[in-house]
């Protein structure tokens, strides 16, 4: 077991994880660079075989275990990426793996973890419940517990990302890293600072799960009362205590991101880079606009891409609404022939595309007075939406914006 993160440990870890990782080469983003005034590169760990960076730490940790420890079995608790990383890595060492997952884990993630060869136990409704039960089993059965983040060997494996970034972009100025419990941030920040102390390391957390930010402010590990965010992979209430000193020393700044910003970032990456990145992995993209710098070389680490289709559908819809690419208006019309056509004509002339229309004759007792027309339409963005609304007003209508019901 590693007692300290040294250059030798990182170099060994980086060499070993090459056996199981895809070479996720940096992707230059014209769109994000233009938006921020910097040169922005993406480190697409969503393209790893298991869909996330977690296989790095899991593989290196297991590689340091004795044959006896591997033979007894490995156990972990996770609802997603770490589960798959451990299951896959354990299979490569022909070691038995047990993964305790909360009962609320989506079936797709459960099945994927099983497909990598793990025995899955569903227990408890939260990660904390599952983790407590996994550690109990480890104690009772003699299994080795592979912690998702609070383990120096795991952090060393994750740190292999740093050397890949610096080898490919030696002049990098900033590296942005998403934070849940802090294993990835500890590994990347510590190794990067050893290689080049001038690189700024920015940790990015969900605003409603900012355990690292609070811990650094108070100078000790702090536990939040809740961690409620759509970035479920980083919904952690307490950062790792073993890795906290490394985070304190090597993180230059912690930025927090609201959930709404992740939704918009998802659209940006899908439309401009044709990639699926999960909400936790989008933290570093959403944080770019908060950086107070220009003309710098910045790398955003995209930590994973394991998002189920239902979540993806919801995020896309909310993103289109947030960008005014879809919006809904309500207008009151006299109940007489031709009024609907007049509204449609105004929208068509302004190049709005109607996708849903509801005509409610019962909004008023006096139908000659008014019926309600609700129109949901596509637009090119905020300016186009305002142009359509203004055109309706100029043609004698009084459109009212309402929440789209898709």
How many domains does the chain fold into? 3
68 and 42 inside one domain: no
In terms of pTM, does the model score above 0.85? yes
Residue 254 resides in a domain: yes
253 and 236 inside one domain: yes
73 close to 65: Cβ distance less than 8 angstroms: no
- Using CA atoms, how far apart are residues 135 and 156, in angstroms rounded to an integer? 22
The predicted pLDDT at position 372 comes to 86
- Using CA atoms, how far apart are residues 198 and 208, in angstroms rounded to an integer? 30
Residue 2 resides in a domain: no
- For residue range 281-291, list pLDDT tens digits in order: 999 999 999 99
Residue 79 token pair: 């609802």
Confidence of residue 363 (pLDDT cuts 50, 70, 90): low
Query: What Rg, from alpha-carbon coordinates, does the chain have?
Result: 25
- For residue range 51-92, list pLDDT tens digits in order: 999 999 999 999 999 999 999 999 999 878 999 999 999 999
24 has pLDDT over 80: yes
Segments of 211-289 assigned E as strands: 253-257
58 and 42 inside one domain: no
405 has pLDDT over 80: no
Residue 1 resides in a domain: no
- For residue range 152-164, list pLDDT tens digits in order: 999 999 999 999 9
Q: How many residues does the chain have?
A: 406
- Using CA atoms, how far apart are residues 151 and 242, in angstroms rounded to an integer? 7
- Using CA atoms, how far apart are residues 12 and 197, in angstroms rounded to an integer? 20
- Using CA atoms, how far apart are residues 187 and 10, in angstroms rounded to an integer? 8
The sign one gets for the Cα dihedral 46, 50, 53, 54 is positive
Q: Sheet harboring 353-360: ordered strands across? A: 353-360, 371-378, 326-333, 400-402
216 has pLDDT over 90: yes
202 and 286 inside one domain: yes
More confident residue, 226 or 25: 25
- For residue range 83-134, list pLDDT tens digits in order: 999 999 999 999 999 999 988 787 878 898 999 999 999 998 777 788 899 9
The predicted pLDDT at position 366 comes to 59
Provide the β-strand partners of residue 99. Answer: 76, 120
- The residue among 208, 143, 151, 215 whose CA lies nearest residue 183 is 151
138 and 204 inside one domain: no
215 close to 239: Cβ distance less than 8 angstroms: yes
Provide the β-strand partners of residue 360. Answer: 372
Indicate the residue among 96, 123, 145 that finishes a domain: 145
């Amino acid at each position: 077991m590693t007692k300290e993160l040294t250059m030798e440990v990182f170099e060994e870890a980086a060499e070993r994880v090459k056996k199981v990782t895809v070479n996720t080469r940096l992707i230059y983003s014209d769109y994000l660079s233009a938006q921020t005034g910097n040169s922005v590169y993406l480190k697409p760990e969503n393209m790893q075989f298991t869909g996330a960076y977690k296989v790095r730490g899991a593989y290196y940790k297991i590689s340091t275990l004795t044959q006896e420890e591997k033979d007894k079995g490995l156990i972990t608790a996770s609802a997603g990426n770490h589960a798959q990383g451990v299951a896959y890595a354990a299979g490569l060492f022909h070691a038995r793996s047990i993964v305790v997952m909360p009962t609320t884990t989506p079936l797709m993630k459960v099945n994927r973890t099983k497909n990598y060869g793990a025995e899955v136990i569903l227990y408890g409704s939260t990660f904390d419940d599952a983790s407590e039960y996994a550690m109990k089993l480890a104690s009772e059965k003699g299994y080795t517990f592979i912690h998702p983040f609070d383990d120096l060997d795991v952090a060393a494996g994750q740190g292999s990302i740093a050397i890949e970034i610096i080898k490919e972009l030696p002049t990098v100025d900033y590296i942005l890293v998403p934070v849940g419990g802090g294993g990835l941030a500890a590994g990347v920040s510590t190794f990067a600072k050893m290689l080049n102390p001038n690189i700024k390391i920015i940790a990015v957390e969900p605003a409603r799960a900012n355990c690292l930010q609070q811990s650094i402010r108070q100078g000790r590990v702090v536990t939040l009362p809740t961690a409620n965010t759509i970035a479920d992979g980083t919904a952690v209430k307490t950062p790792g205590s073993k890795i906290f000193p490394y985070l304190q020393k090597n993180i230059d700044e912690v930025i927090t991101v609201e959930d709404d910003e992740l939704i918009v970032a998802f659209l940006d990456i899908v439309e401009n880079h044709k990639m699926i990145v999960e909400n936790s992995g989008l933290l570093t993209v959403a944080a770019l606009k908060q950086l107070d710098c220009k003309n710098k070389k910045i790398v955003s680490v995209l930590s994973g891409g394991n998002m189920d289709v239902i979540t993806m559908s919801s995020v896309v819809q909310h993103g289109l609404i947030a960008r005014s690419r879809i919006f809904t208006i309500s207008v009151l019309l006299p109940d007489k022939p031709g009024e609907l056509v007049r509204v449609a004509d105004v929208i068509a002339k302004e190049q709005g595309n109607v996708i849903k229309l509801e005509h409610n004759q019962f909004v008023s007792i006096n139908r000659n007075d008014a019926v309600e027309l609700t129109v949901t339409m596509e637009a090119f963005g905020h300016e186009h939406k305002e142009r359509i609304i203004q055109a309706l007003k100029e043609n004698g209508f009084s459109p009212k914006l309402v929440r789209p019901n898709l």
